[in-house]
Amino acid sequence: MIIVNLDVVMARRKMSLNELSERVGITLSNLSILKTGKAKAIRFSTLDAICRVLDCSPGEILEYRADEECARPPVA
């Protein structure tokens, strides 16, 4: 399963969804779909623009977790 950590990276950079949308040049609704993990795909050009604006790598935004890890309750 692919986990989208866009909200985490945005919070670290103190950047709002509106600001990122304007600076990347994609609609607020499309960015919101990506941020909530509901997107089915992302273009490399969009990922490149997001990484450029947030000064991060794709691996900071997208994370892979095996399905078993997602189903397990967190360890306390």
Domain range for 39 is: 2-71
Model confidence, pTM: 0.83
Domain count, the chain: 1
Percent of the chain clearing pLDDT 70 (strictly above): 88
Q: Kindly state whether residue 11 falls inside one of the protein's structural domains.
A: yes
Q: Kindly state whether residue 76 falls inside one of the protein's structural domains.
A: no
pLDDT confidence tier of residue 67, bands split at 50, 70 and 90: confident
Q: Quick check: 61 pLDDT over 70?
A: yes
- Count how many residues are written for the chain: 76
Q: Kindly state whether residue 57 falls inside one of the protein's structural domains.
A: yes
Residue 58: which CATH number?
1.10.260.40
More confident residue, 74 or 14: 14
What's the rounded mean pLDDT across residues 12-31?
96
pLDDT for the residue numbered 60: 97
Q: Kindly state whether residue 14 falls inside one of the protein's structural domains.
A: yes
42: helix, strand or coil:
coil
